[in-house]
Amino acid sequence: MAAVRCIDICKTYLQGDQEIKALDHLSIEIEAGGFVCLSSPSGGGKTTLLNAIGGLDKPDSGEVWIEDQRIDTMSKGELADLRLRKIGFVFQAYNLIPVLTARENVEFVMQVQGLSPAMRRERSTELLNEVGLAGLENRRPAQMSGGQQQRVAVARAIASRPTLVLADEPTANLDSKTSDGLMDLFEELNTHHKTTFVIATHDQRVMAHVPRLVRMLDGRIVDDIEQNAA
Amino acid sequence: MNTLRVLLMLAWRNLWRNHRRTFIMLAAISVGVWAMIFMTALTQGMVNEMVKDGVSALPGHVQVHHPNYRDDPNINNLIPMADTELSAKFAAAGFEQWASRIKVPAVITSERESRGVTLLGIDPNRERDLTFVDYEDIDGRFLEDEADKGVVIGRKLAETLDTDVGKRIVIMSQDPKNDIADRGFRVVGLFGANMQSLEETYVFAGKQTIQKLLSVGDHVTELVAMGDDYRNVEPVYEKVVKLVDDSVVVNRWFELDSYLGTMLRVMDGFVLIWVVVIFLALSFGLVNTLVMAVFERVREIGLMLALGMKPSSILGQIIIESMLLLVIGLAIGNVLAVASIAPLNSGIDISIVAEGMEMMGSASVLYPQLRMEDVILANVVVLILGFFASLSPAWRASRFQPIEAITRVD
Amino acid sequence: MNIILRLAWRNIWRQPRRTWLTAGAMVFSNVLLVFMMSFQFGMYSLMIDNSLQALTGHMQVQAPGYVDDQRMRQTVADVGDLSRSLREQLASDTIAARAQAFVLASSDERSYGIAIIGVEPHFEQKVSNISGLVSKGRFLSENDAAEIVVGAVLARNLRVNIGDELTILGSGVDGSFAAAVVTVIGIFDSGVPDLDRTLAEIPLGLFNDVFYMEGAGHHVVVNAPTVDFAPALQAELEALLPEDADLVVHDWDRLLPGLKQAIQADLSSSFFMYGVLAILVAFSVLNTQLMSVLERTHEFGIVMALGLKPGRLGRLVMLETVMIGLLGAVIGALLGSILTWYFSFSGFQIPGMEEMAIQFNLPARLYPQVTALSLLLGPGIVFVFSLLAAVYPALRLRWLQPVDAMRAA
């Protein structure tokens, strides 16, 4: 069973008077445990696709499936539930809730899920260690660097043991060294936890990293290549 | 449960993110709540004094009269049942206080002056705790028993009549046949009251003396009973009704003095209106604060939605934040109110406007009355209306689209 | 439009919702204040007019001390002559002499203690509305006739009607026994229980004979065209009084001290409430303007780096507040006067108000009128409080350092 299946999806935006086809009869399938990079120039539709897969946005037509569930017809509440249990997100910026500490941010989703405090604590400690932030558990986002914040976001994204992690330009605000570290972390998690990763980016270094690279232009897939990991 | 804990924590921390704004809003709520309770305590105090004075000037919570007496307070409208028989019944019924009396209009004349007054023939021992007259604060002495041959008049009346303790005055009224009944009395005492009109209006004499003067034998015009609380006279009323037959009417005090009765009702309404008005004035600030808070946090609210938090939880979070703000504001406001009223409990002297207050029926010392039910009313109204006021910003926040919220660029 | 004005105007619309909420608090308070003040001021002048027009009048000439004790012997000698000469000298009709006594009035069936007033029938009609309130029979006409006009409740209590006789018993000015038999020719119904129950009027000439007054009376009522002219008239009147005659002039406030004080007591509790409303509006303004200043720290930093002085920025913030304040004041005053205008036709009645209205000589239904004072006072207070509230945010700018400010997000 594929982790993600999009069948003939379309999405049109109005920008000013101009109609923009963000997704144009696009179909794609991503296998479970895959590590896929979506790339396109700005406005090429990668973020729209990512949002459609994450249930943050609904396509105008077509079907979106996560495992065996069709999500484009789900209600807001069902979508919220789906994201809570199956999907982890890492965004470009503003990834963290400012009033919560690093640990609390990681625990946030687990807490909403209703996990016990002991379990949450154990898992957040483990995850923060794994992303290399041991000792910074009680810092608030404002007291951390951009790279550290993204690592907390990654820890949070996988905290609820999602089957799918969606990352939108996760390295955009990071220097090259930090972004390499972040990609290494993604890869490690992908192999270690068998989590499916879908990353939208136009960062060349990121593209070079991934086994499958999907290039998009004007809402269509123009190139879908399997490549050997660097 | 878990979600609630998260929401509570988020709401609490968010509340203190912009502490300046929170402090200003808290100050506004506290002042508003303080004003609600303080003003209410003052007006309740005023009404309370008015009613207490009014009831003590009537006096009696429940009164029994001949059906025609209220319209025509004349000696002809006597209670048909004999006083001794009535008294025996009432004495056995176990009232807090009760008394029977004769109350008729009369003219009092000194060597120099005449005035129209209300003549009360009373049993002084029964009236001790009923009347507004303080038996200990009398120039001369109060009546000793119901056969006392003297009269006790107000200080102001004595002054206008140019009379004093020990001097004689003449009282004129009519007997049931409308013959003029007049008699000389010696003034044995002068009483003081907190309202000048009381000192001018009432003249006390022994009940038996007056019965003899007016040739009414063993009869009275009025019988009164008192409970322990003027706000709750129904038990007394029902007890009285059972003791008398239908040759008389039984009235509660607020029927006898409709001004005071209305006053009490209007004031209860006023309290609610005042609380609501203050809240409405506050609500603009409250909604403003919440709207600012919500729009500053578009992104993180979007993030929480993206992470799988339900819109209803976002709604709840904003409402909890608003409720926390209100609860803290209420607490401070309540404390302020209690603290500012406590030192005033010995009374506020407003004698500058004494005559004006007398016109309204109130004495010139105001005792603020902090009633639990008013405090509860204010708090409950603020919380309920506050809840509704926060619905709109909270609803808006919960309708944010996660995607627009996150991807929005400044 | 001036550039600074335009800047301020655009600034307040950067956050329209916030501006409207802030102005909304002002509008709410202003509508309430305009309506309440129109209502109150109208009520007060009605209270004064209604209370004064029955008996008290705008001022009275009396013997010293009469105002406090109203003793029979505290008389004004030759009161009829005095009122006549005052009418001539002041060229006014609204001046009348009176005398007053307390008596026992007896009909065939009933006796009551009442106040009886001797009046000059012709001139009394010009100073008192009681003649106009005669609902049965007619008012007094001749100065010596053995006639009496009584209050409606008193007539009912005494069980008398037009044409019936009343015996009045009392003491003359010298303490001697005074008695007369008079015919009821009129019954008045003023709606004021105290008057209807205890008051009767007879001609002054008759009063003079019955109570052995020898021309003396107790006071001369003098009315000005309206109560506002009373103080001027009082000064004129005092100058006219013969110096050797031991007489004083008391204005209505002295004669009926409860009235002004009741108004003052009501006003002061109202103004406490209005003050609280204004303070709450001020907090709202403080919050809004402080937030607006803090949000713009970065922007202010830039213009200060360009060389603008903090004082000018402070003035800009004050100007923005003035604009929001004017918005709230104008809309509030407008809506408030529309609301008041509506009630000036339909009347306004608080449920259960009747009993309270009677206590203060008021009709049960009131028709509030917008006046310049009631229209401007409330919004003015709110406006001033709003400006005061903006002083702190404006002053904060003085401590702003351009570099720090620009670093702020």
- CA C343 from chain centre, in angstroms, equals 19
Regarding whether B127 and B252 lie in a shared domain, the answer is yes
Question: Does B356 contact C288 at a Cβ distance shorter than 8 Å?
Answer: no
Is residue C249 one of the residues assigned to a domain? Answer: no
pLDDT for C391-408, tens place per residue? 999 888 877 766 666 665
Regarding whether B289 and B332 lie in a shared domain, the answer is yes
Regarding whether B114 and B49 lie in a shared domain, the answer is no
Last residue of a domain, one of C197, C223, C249: C223
| B-C Cβ pairs (cutoff 8 Å, strict) | 195
pLDDT for A64-75, tens place per residue? 999 889 998 988
Last residue of a domain, one of B212, B232, B256: B256
CA distance C171 to chain B (A): 7
Q: Among A99, A101, A160, A161, pick the best mutation site for testing chain B contact (most B Cβ within 10 A).
A: A99
pLDDT of the residue at C407: 61
Domain residues for C322? 2-52+259-407
Regarding whether C294 and C357 lie in a shared domain, the answer is yes
Residue B147 has pLDDT above 80, yes or no: yes
Regarding whether B170 and B265 lie in a shared domain, the answer is no
Could you tell me if B10 lies within 8 Å of chain A, comparing CB atoms? yes
CA distance A222 to chain B (A): 25
pLDDT of the residue at B184: 93
Which of B303, B308, B310 minimises the CB distance to A94? B303
Type of residue at C292: S
| Domain count within chain B | 2
Regarding whether B234 and B90 lie in a shared domain, the answer is yes
pLDDT for B30-49, tens place per residue? 999 999 999 999 888 888 88
Is residue A114 left, alpha or beta, with left meaning phi > 0 and alpha meaning psi from -120 to 50? left
Question: Does C273 contact B274 at a Cβ distance shorter than 8 Å?
Answer: yes
Could you tell me if C260 lies within 8 Å of chain B, comparing CB atoms? yes
Regarding whether B219 and B87 lie in a shared domain, the answer is yes
Regarding whether C94 and C65 lie in a shared domain, the answer is yes
pLDDT of the residue at B409: 44
Which residues of chain C neighbour B117 with C-beta distances below 8 Å?
113
Cα–Cα distance, B109 to A187 (Å, whole number): 114
| Chain C residue closest in CA terms to B70 | C157
Cα–Cα distance, C193 to C91 (Å, whole number): 35
How would you label B272-311 residue by residue, b for 16+ Cβ within 10 Å and e otherwise? eebbbbbbbbbbbbbbbbbbbbbbbbbbbbbbbbbbbbbb
Regarding whether B309 and B169 lie in a shared domain, the answer is no
Is residue C107 one of the residues assigned to a domain? Answer: yes
Regarding whether B303 and B230 lie in a shared domain, the answer is no
What are C321's two structure tokens?
A: 């507040």
Regarding whether C265 and C186 lie in a shared domain, the answer is no
Regarding whether C199 and C87 lie in a shared domain, the answer is yes
Tens-digit pLDDT string for chain C (409 aa) = 577 788 888 888 988 988 999 999 999 999 999 999 998 888 888 888 888 888 889 999 999 989 888 888 899 999 999 999 999 999 999 999 999 999 989 998 888 889 999 999 999 999 999 998 999 999 998 888 899 999 999 999 899 999 999 999 888 888 888 899 999 999 999 887 788 888 999 999 999 999 999 999 999 999 998 888 999 999 999 888 887 778 999 999 889 888 888 888 888 888 888 999 999 999 999 999 998 888 888 888 777 777 777 788 888 899 999 999 999 999 999 999 999 999 888 887 766 667 767 777 777 777 888 888 889 999 999 999 999 999 999 888 877 766 666 665 4
- pTM assigned to the model: 0.82
Last residue of a domain, one of B256, B275, B302: B256
For residue A37, give the nearest of A202, A184, A219, A163 by alpha carbon. A202
pLDDT top residue among A81 and C357: A81
Domain residues for B22? 2-54+261-406
Is residue C376 one of the residues assigned to a domain? Answer: yes
Regarding whether C119 and C44 lie in a shared domain, the answer is no
Regarding whether C86 and C37 lie in a shared domain, the answer is no
Kindly state the average pLDDT of the residues B238-250: 88
Last residue of a domain, one of B256, B282, B316: B256
Regarding whether C67 and C11 lie in a shared domain, the answer is no
Regarding whether B17 and B116 lie in a shared domain, the answer is no
CB C182 within 8 A of CB C168: yes
Regarding whether C272 and C192 lie in a shared domain, the answer is no
Q: Looking at this predicted complex, what is its ipTM?
A: 0.81
Supply φ then ψ for residue C60, to 5 degrees.
Answer: -140, 145
Query: At C97, which helix (H) or strand (E)?
Result: strand C95-106
Regarding whether B48 and B68 lie in a shared domain, the answer is no
Regarding whether B247 and B266 lie in a shared domain, the answer is no
How would you label B33-66 residue by residue, b for 16+ Cβ within 10 Å and e otherwise? bbbbbbbbbbbbbbbbbbbbbbbbbbbbbbbbbb
Could you tell me if B351 lies within 8 Å of chain A, comparing CB atoms? no
Regarding whether B159 and B286 lie in a shared domain, the answer is no
- The separation between the first and the last C-alpha atoms of chain C, rounded to the nearest angstrom, is 31
| Domain count within chain C | 2
Is residue C278 one of the residues assigned to a domain? Answer: yes
